[in-house]
Amino acid sequence: MTEPFHRRVLLSLDAQAYGSRGDHQQLELQRALTQVVAEAAGRAGVDLAAADRQAAGDGMLIILAPGSSEVAPVDAFPRELVRALRDYNGGDRGDSPRLRLRLAVHQGLVATGDNGYPGAGVVVVARMVDSGPARAALKAASAADLVLLVSRTIYFDLVVQSHTSVQPQAFRQVEYETKEGAEVAWLSVPGGDAHALDLSGESSDASGAGHAGTAAEIPASVDAAAPTKARVVVNGGVHGGNVVQGTLHGTAFNFGIQTGDRHDG
């Protein structure tokens, strides 16, 4: 049987504030998005013609062809995308707001399905681009038109090993929540300073997109080798976000969770 999954370089792009635009502004954003991506890809040597793509109105998933450069999506493509965005935003846009983008880059296994592209890699790159830190960074970096997030694999295999012209110091490690738990990514603002951004105040949404806060830490005094005993009290109503409070070996903790309907018994 032929293996349907193959390792590919994955790029996910998403535009800021699409839903708040009027119909004609959304139409213009879609046109501008495809234009700036095509221009940047052409100058960066990213072959869109050979890539698989999935449009999403205010964004797109790009799955590069096997054998494509892994470096260009992290190096030349973001740089050329900033240039294309600057040219577009500096021109006559009529009443359309600036086009500002979030870009996530990952590599992973993906297949061509009957209704899209299945594979854990696609899920990862989609979650990164829609994560709280990505959204908070674009909001905080008001002068920038692009923020870039790369996965652990991309960061350590390409950036840390000096396969790109982008230095590791340009990236900031961030954490975001998913339905399966916390994940990490590395954030950069091309032409800016990601470390200077205030990423606080971005809460996770129901889809598990993520947040910019730090993970709750178990105090150092807790004996990790001993069995964990917790006394849990759920405050709040039957629906909505509640708070869990308890103790681990006598150490108090509390953290927010979301719950659905409460079922007794």
Please, which pLDDT band fits residue 200 given cuts at 50, 70 and 90? confident
Backbone angles phi, psi at 102, to 5 degrees: -110, 135
DSSP 180: T
For residue 204, CA distances in Å to 44, 174, 244 come to 34, 14, 17
pTM for the model stands at 0.75
Write out the H or E segment, with its range, that includes residue 25: helix 23-44
pLDDT at residue 103, rounded to an integer: 99
At 59, list the tokens: 């964004």
* Per-residue pLDDT tens over the stretch 215-224: 333 233 333 3
Residue 204 contacts residue 132 (beta carbons within 8 Å):
yes
Q: Is the pLDDT of residue 175 over 80?
A: yes
pLDDT tens string 118-153: 999 999 999 999 999 999 999 999 999 999 999 999
| Per-residue model confidence (pLDDT) at position 70 | 95
Better-scored residue on pLDDT, 77 or 204? 77
pLDDT, position 202: 58
Q: What is the pLDDT of residues 209-262, one digit of tens each?
A: 333 333 333 233 333 333 333 333 333 333 333 333 343 333 343 434 333 443
For range 66-95, the mean pLDDT: 93
Residue 206 above 90 pLDDT?
no
CA 16, 18, 24, 27 dihedral sign is positive
Tokens of 13: 């792009």
Q: Could you give all domains of the chain from N- to C-terminal order, each with its CATH number? A: 6-196 (3.30.70.1230), 216-260 (no CATH)
Residue found under tokens 């594979």: 119
